[in-house]
């Protein structure tokens, strides 16, 4: 075929539309986006025909059957498809186009039972007057077999287009249609279009699962599909030649592989809707990444940005600078599961990756679903912070070190020792040797146990801490340093007063007491008027595992103290929210 066909002469959508407007000046006022929308079906069919059936396309006059047509092909009665001859370099030709489909409305509802006349209003566009003199398409509301029955069989079409079949929705509906078998018997060239590469691969995967396709078929991208994000797809974005398929009675529509694919697709639906092809691209494939702490690790990609180590099955995500960061606490996939990973053909590997996520990672994430930052991992948080630091010119700063420094300094709220001094003095505690700007891990003030004539240095840390968290590195460091510097006794205070309920009674965690060579978490309540009461509590054997009821306390301390820590008036009411970690809840204004 001569290269004068615009779809062969122009390899770029912008230049093709410019040539179209030059040849049809009545459309000059239309935007490129509008033209692309109305011409998308014609451009896709012309592009594929010129490449694959050039002898037929060169005639400029041939019969095209579009099966599974929808409202896009039917715009303005299908008149935009009358530009097929011009796109093929035969402006004087005349193509007969037949549109057959049972979803001819703009929504997803079936159109069967509606008359063609009642549907015309849905197909009309504001541009209808510009093409009112063009040849309309023949439109049939129903399936191929119905069309064949009402029209004396299927005439000799030169091309059959399967418009975005989406076999994952209804594979049997397509493949059981007697019209499909009749077209194959007539050796009519058949092409299927898909919105995206994944859309096409899903169709081929379904065909493979039911026994209709042995190996993948080449997929070609349409250079004239609407400009859009490559992962989200566009009308007619990808094409592939429909294969010769065995009669439907020989196919296994109840295949377990079909059910597995549909099940995995359902789990990934939300991510796919947001990210398109990127949601499933590379799932189940191996990737070599740097590991947090040094070295490299071979990983298998799972949904939602998670990975599993091929060596030991450890699960994690990519944190700072794309480094693999294992989950905390550690979660592992059995090596026998990793060894069962399928090969790369079709989408079996992606299905496997989704199933690994569902069975081994999703339960962990669901168990955290009631948390404020459910699904946010250490790795994803560090990765996000690393990006921010790099953008502001601190790309060489380790996000983990940065977060630790921010946490130790109190972040945006600053030091906590003035708040603790105010609270304790309000309760009647005796304080001395107050330091305006104490260095970390040095006393901010001293507590006086006057009855015992004992002085307890008070060190105030600026971060929140729960007494049963052995993984808090800052708190563990603080206790080690303070106990070494003050062997006779000291008190550690933190940011906030967490509360818990034990045997129906509320208790408030005041801090950690170093006394008699042992660290003890202590309760704080309004009737404790000094450090003597603190030492009495320790000698009475109080613990949060076996609390003493006289140290129970309602939120009369934790609520106003939380307001103070956030720069608010402790005596002025405001909405409060509760952040829970295990049995402990931290209150904060919200």
Has residue 258 been placed in a domain? Answer: no
> Could you tell me if 440 and 523 lie in one domain?
yes
Provide the β-strand partners of residue 141: 101
Mention every residue, 6+ apart, whose C-beta is less than 8 A from residue 163. Answer: 41, 66, 67, 68, 69, 70, 73, 101, 193
The predicted structure's pLDDT at residue 231 = 46
> Could you tell me if 376 and 416 lie in one domain?
no
Q: Residue-wise pLDDT tens for the chain (590 aa)?
A: 445 899 999 888 889 999 999 999 999 999 888 999 999 999 999 999 999 999 998 887 889 999 999 989 999 999 999 999 999 999 988 899 999 998 888 766 777 778 888 888 889 999 999 999 999 999 999 888 888 888 887 777 899 999 998 888 778 878 877 778 777 777 789 999 998 888 899 999 999 998 888 899 999 999 988 654 444 457 889 999 998 876 666 788 888 898 888 888 776 666 666 666 776 778 899 999 888 777 899 999 998 889 999 999 999 988 766 788 888 888 999 999 999 999 998 999 999 999 999 999 888 877 765 544 455 565 555 666 566 555 655 556 566 665 666 666 655 566 888 999 999 998 999 999 989 888 889 999 999 998 888 999 999 998 888 887 887 888 898 999 999 999 999 999 998 888 989 888 999 999 999 999 999 999 999 889 899 999 999 999 999 988 999 998 876 788 888 888 777 877 787 777 777 777 888 887 76
The predicted structure's pLDDT at residue 1 = 43
> Could you tell me if 138 and 31 lie in one domain?
yes
> Could you tell me if 517 and 576 lie in one domain?
yes
> Could you tell me if 429 and 361 lie in one domain?
no
Range of the domain at 539: 411-589
- For the chain, report the end-to-end CA distance as a whole number of angstroms: 70
Has residue 272 been placed in a domain? Answer: no
> Could you tell me if 169 and 208 lie in one domain?
yes
Q: Is the peptide bond before 329 cis (omega within 30 degrees of 0)?
A: yes
The predicted structure's pLDDT at residue 23 = 94
Has residue 291 been placed in a domain? Answer: yes
- 346, 216 in Cβ contact below 8 A? yes
Question: Is the four-CA dihedral 63, 198, 348, 169 of positive or negative sign?
Answer: negative
Task: Give me the number of domains the chain comprises.
Answer: 3
**Among 253, 270, 304, residue at a domain's last position:** 253
- Whole-angstrom distance, CA of residue 299 vs CA of residue 279: 17
β-pairing, 505-514 vs 519-523, is antiparallel
pTM of the predicted model as reported, rounded to 2 decimal places: 0.63
What CATH number is associated with residue 72?
A: 3.40.50
> Could you tell me if 134 and 207 lie in one domain?
yes
Has residue 396 been placed in a domain? Answer: no
Has residue 521 been placed in a domain? Answer: yes
Has residue 401 been placed in a domain? Answer: no
Tokens at residue 485, please?
């510097």
Q: Based on DSSP, count helices (H) and strands (E) in the chain, helices before strands.
A: 21, 21
Has residue 336 been placed in a domain? Answer: yes
> Could you tell me if 238 and 309 lie in one domain?
no
Has residue 112 been placed in a domain? Answer: yes
> Could you tell me if 39 and 147 lie in one domain?
yes
Mention every residue, 6+ apart, whose C-beta is less than 8 A from residue 433. Answer: 443, 445, 446
> Could you tell me if 573 and 504 lie in one domain?
yes
> Could you tell me if 210 and 333 lie in one domain?
no
> Could you tell me if 287 and 248 lie in one domain?
no
């Amino acid at each position: 075929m001569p290269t004068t066909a615009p779809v062969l002469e122009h390899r770029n959508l912008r230049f093709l539309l410019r040539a179209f407007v030059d040849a049809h000046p009545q459309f000059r006022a239309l935007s490129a986006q509008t033209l692309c929308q109305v011409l998308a079906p014609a451009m896709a069919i012309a592009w594929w025909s010129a490449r694959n059936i050039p002898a037929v396309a060169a005639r400029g006059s041939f019969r095209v059957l579009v099966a599974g047509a929808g409202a896009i092909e039917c715009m303005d009665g299908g008149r935009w498809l009358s530009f097929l001859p011009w796109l093929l370099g035969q402006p004087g030709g005349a193509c007969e186009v037949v549109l057959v489909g049972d979803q001819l409305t703009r929504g997803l509802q079936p159109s069967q039972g509606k008359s063609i006349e009642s549907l015309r209003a849905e197909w009309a566009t504001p541009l209808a007057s510009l093409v009112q003199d063009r040849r309309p398409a023949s439109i049939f509301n129903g399936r191929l077999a119905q069309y064949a029955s009402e029209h004396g069989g299927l005439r000799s079409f030169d091309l059959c287009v399967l418009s975005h079949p989406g076999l994952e929705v209804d594979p049997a509906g397509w493949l059981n249609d007697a019209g499909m078998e009749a077209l194959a018997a007539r050796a009519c060239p058949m092409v299927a279009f898909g919105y995206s590469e994944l859309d096409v691969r899903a169709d081929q995967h379904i065909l493979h699962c039911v026994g209709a396709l042995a190996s993948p078929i080449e997929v070609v991208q349409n250079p004239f599909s609407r400009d859009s994000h490559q992962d989200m797809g566009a009308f007619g974005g990808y094409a592939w030649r429909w294969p010769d398929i065995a009669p439907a009675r020989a196919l296994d529509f109840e295949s377990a592989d079909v059910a597995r694919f549909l099940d995995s697709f359902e789990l990934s639906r939300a991510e796919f809707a947001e990210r398109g092809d990127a949601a499933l691209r590379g799932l189940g494939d191996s990737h070599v990444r740097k590991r947090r702490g040094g070295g490299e690790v071979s990983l298998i990609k799972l949904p939602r940005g998670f990975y599993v180590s091929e060596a030991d099955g450890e699960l994690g995500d990519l944190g700072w600078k794309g480094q693999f960061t294992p989950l905390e606490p550690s979660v592992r996939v059995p090596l026998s599961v990793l060894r069962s990973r399928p090969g790369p053909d079709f989408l079996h590997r992606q299905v496997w990756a989704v199933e690994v996520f569902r069975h081994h990672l999703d339960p962990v994430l669901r168990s955290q679903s009631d948390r404020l930052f459910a699904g946010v991992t250490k790795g994803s948080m560090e990765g996000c912070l690393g990006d921010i630091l790099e953008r502001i010119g601190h790309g060489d700063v380790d996000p983990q070190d940065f977060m630790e420094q921010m946490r130790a300094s109190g972040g945006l709220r600053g030091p906590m020792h003035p708040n603790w001094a105010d609270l304790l003095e309000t309760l009647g505690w005796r304080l001395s040797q107050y330091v305006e700007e104490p260095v970390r891990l040095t006393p901010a003030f001293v507590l006086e146990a006057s009855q015992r004539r004992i002085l307890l240095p008070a060190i105030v840390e600026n971060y929140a801490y729960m007494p049963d968290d052995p993984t808090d590195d800052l708190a563990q460091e603080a206790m080690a340093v303070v106990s070494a510097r003050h062997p006779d006794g000291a008190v550690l205070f933190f940011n906030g007063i967490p509360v818990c309920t034990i045997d129906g009674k509320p208790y408030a965690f005041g801090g950690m007491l170093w006394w008699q060579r042992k660290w003890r978490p202590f309760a704080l309540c309004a009737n404790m008027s000094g450090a003597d009461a603190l030492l009495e509590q320790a000698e009475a054997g109080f613990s949060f595992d076996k609390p003493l009821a006289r140290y129970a306390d309602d939120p009369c301390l934790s609520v106003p103290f939380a307001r103070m820590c956030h720069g608010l008036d402790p005596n002025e009411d405001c909405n409060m929210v509760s952040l829970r970690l295990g049995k402990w809840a931290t209150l904060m204004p919200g």
